[in-house]
Amino acid sequence: MMQPGLYHLLFISTALFFIGVYGFFTRRNLVTMLMSVELILNSVNLNFIAFNKYLWYDKMDGLFFTIFIIAIAAAEAAVAIAIIINLYRSHQSIDVENTEDLRY
């Protein structure tokens, strides 16, 4: 059975990143967009882990970075959901096309 190498992990992380980007650009639902952002963050986490494991296996920096990102992502999700709830209260909708009040 073949051991997964660095390239395999980078491929998965790139795929995850662009799936997240695609979702962020195309979804109209704010919650879905938030989930897409989480995908992007996780693809970055995967990158950190992969580089840590394969290139600098005697160090722990990548690991700690990942833990920070997860913690901050949790906080960010809480803030974002709070914003979305407030938006729902004022606009009766969580569709991104209804949030175009701030423009020229």
Partner 1 sequence: MPNATYIALIPLLPLAGFLMLGIFGRKYFKNTSGVIGAALLLISTVLALYTAYGYFFEYGKVDGVYQKLVPLKYTWLQFSENVSIDMGIIIDPVSVMMLVVVTFVSLMVHIYSLGYMKGDERFPTYYAFLGLFTFSMLGLVVSSNIFQIYIFWELVGVSSFLLIGYYYDKPSAVAACKKAFIVTRFADVGFLIGILILAFHSGTLDFNTLITTLTSPETEGYKSAAAASFMGVSALTWGLALVFVGGAGKSAMFPLHIWLPDAMEGPTPVSALIHAATMVVAGVFLVARLFPVFAISSPNALTMVGYVGAISALIAAIIACTQTDIKRVLAYSTMSQIGYMMFALGVSKYGGEEGLGYTASMFHLFTHAMFKALLFLGAGAVIHYIHSNEMKDMGGLRKYLPVTHITFLIACLAIAGVPPFAGFFSKEEILLAAYEHNTAIYWIALITSGLTAFYMFRLYFNIFWNAPSPLERAGGEVHGEHHGEGGFVMMMPLVLLAVGAAGAGFIPFGHFISSDGKQLNTEFHLQFSIAPVALGLAGIFIAMWMYKKQNNRPDKIAASLSSLYKAAYHKFYIDEIYTFITQKIIFNLIGRPAAWFDKNVVDGMINATGNGTKDISESIKGLQSGKVQSYAIYFLAGVIGLALLFIYWWT
Shortest distance, position 11 Cβ to partner 1, whole Å: 19
Interface with partner 1 in residues 84-103 (CB under 8 A): 96-97, 99-103
Please tell me whether residue 69 binds partner 1 under the rule CB under 8 A. Answer: no
**Amino acid symbol at 84:** I
Burial of 27 (0-12, 13-18, 19+ CB in 10 A): middle
**What tokens appear for 3 in the block?**
């051991």
Q: Which of 9, 19, 21, 87 binds partner 1 (CB under 8 A)?
A: 21
Binding flag, residue 25, partner 1 (CB under 8 A): yes
77 binds partner 1 (CB under 8 A): no
Q: Distance between CA 34 and CA 20 in Å, rounded?
A: 10
Dist. CA 52–CA 77, nearest whole Å: 26
Q: Which stretch binds partner 1 (CB under 8 A): 6-14, 20-28, 50-58, 73-81?
A: 20-28
> Do 69 and 42 form a contact (C-beta atoms < 8 A)?
no
| 79 touches partner 1 (CB under 8 A) | no
3-class DSSP state of 29: strand
Query: Binding residues for partner 1, per CB under 8 A?
Result: 21, 24-25, 96-97, 99-104
